[in-house]
Amino acid sequence: MIELLTNERTAVREAPVERAMLVPTTLGLAGVVVSAPSGPPAFGMLVAQGLDAHRSGVNGVWAKTARALAANGVAAMRVDFPGMGDSAGVVGGRDAYRAVLAEVVTWFRASEQLHRVGAIGACFGARQVLGLAAEGELDGPIALVTPALGRPSPAGAGARMGHRVRRALGRPEPVDRAAAADLGRTARRERVLVLLGELDRQMVAAVASARARLGTPDRVDVEMVPGERLHAFPTVTGQAAAIARLAAWAGSAGTSGPAHVVGAVA
C-alpha cells in the first residue's frame, strides 16, 4: 500500500501495477516498464532519462517517480533507449531515439486507452521530449528536469576545453535553435515546467537564455530546488525533492488541466 499525504488527511491507495515488456517497433524490440494506477488513469506520462542512462535512473529515481505518478492516478512508462538494456536489439543508435520513442508512445496510448500523453524528460531525454511534443506526438503536460538545450559541441580538444570552462563558470552552451523552437511550440500548446537545482548553474543559464527567446516566456515556469544539483542526481535529498515535486505537479495537471506552478523564478 502507498500512503499519500494531503492537506486534509492521509489517503491510502493500492500500490501501482507494474508490467515490463518488449514493444515491437520498426527498428526492433523496445524494453519498457509501465506503472499503472489501480483505477482508470487520468492521463499518461512518458518518463525519459538522460543520455546513456538506464530507464530506472540513478538510485532508481525514475522508477520511484513513475510509481509516485501511478499513485497519483497517472499511468507512467519508462523506456530503455535504443542499444541499451532491454532495447539492446534496437538499431540506429542515438539517431533512432526519437523515432522509437514516438512508436512506443503510440503503443502506450493504445495499450492503456489514454486520451492524453505527456512526459517528464531529464537532460538529453528532455530534448527528445520537446521534439515529440512539438511534433504533436505528445499532447499532455510536459516537465523538463535540467534540460539539455545547448548546441552540440563540435569535436576537438579546443571545443572540449571551451565546454569545460563554460561549465566551471556556469555559462551556458550556445542555445540550440531547434531546441528553442521546439520549446516555444510546446509552450504555446501547454505550460511547461522546468525543474532545476540551485547548483545547476550552467543549465540555469541555458534555460534563461532559451526562455528569453520565446515570444511568451511566461508559458515556461522555472522552479528551483534550493541547495541541490539535480543534473545526474548526485544526492538522495535532490532525488527525493524532484520525485515529490514532479508527482505533485502531475497530480495537479490531471485535475486542473494545464500545469500551473507556484513559486516559479525567472
* Helix (H) and strand (E) counts in the chain: 7, 10
* Rounded Cα–Cα distance for residues 158 and 153 (Å): 10
Question: Is pLDDT at 30 greater than 50 in this prediction?
Answer: yes
Q: Are 222 and 264 in contact (CB under 8 A)?
A: yes
Between the two ends of the chain, the Cα-to-Cα distance in Å is: 39
In this structure, what DSSP letter does residue 11 have? Answer: E
Nine-digit cell at 68?
Answer: 509516485
Share of the chain above pLDDT 90, in %: 73
In degrees and rounded to multiples of 5, residue 77 shows phi and psi of -130, 130
Largest separation between any pair of C-alpha atoms in the chain: 58
Question: Is pLDDT at 265 greater than 50 in this prediction?
Answer: no
Amino acid at 174: P
| Closest residue by Cα to residue 93 from 102, 106, 81 | 81
* Rounded Cα–Cα distance for residues 124 and 98 (Å): 11
Residue spans of alpha helices (H) in 52-173: 61-71, 97-111, 124-134, 157-169
Q: How confident is the model at residue 162 (pLDDT cuts 50, 70, 90)?
A: low
Domain ranges of the chain: 18-256
**CATH superfamily of this structure's domain 18-256:** Alpha/Beta hydrolase fold, catalytic domain (3.40.50.1820)
Mean pLDDT of 89-96: 94
pLDDT score, position 47: 98
Q: Tell me the pLDDT of the chain averaged across its residues.
A: 87
Query: What is the layout of strands, in order, in the sheet containing 220-225?
Result: 17-25, 28-36, 75-79, 44-48, 117-122, 142-145, 192-197, 220-225
Mean pLDDT of 54-70: 97
* Rounded Cα–Cα distance for residues 200 and 216 (Å): 24
Question: Is pLDDT at 38 greater than 60 in this prediction?
Answer: yes
User: Residue 236: how many CB atoms within 10 A of its CB?
Assistant: 11
Mean pLDDT of 187-197: 95
* Rounded Cα–Cα distance for residues 196 and 90 (Å): 31
Please tell me the least confidently modeled range out of 126-140, 173-187, 223-237: 173-187
* Rounded Cα–Cα distance for residues 220 and 227 (Å): 22
Question: Is pLDDT at 210 greater than 80 in this prediction?
Answer: yes
Strands 17-25 and 10-13: unpaired
In this structure, what DSSP letter does residue 4 have? Answer: E
Q: How confident is the model at residue 260 (pLDDT cuts 50, 70, 90)?
A: very low
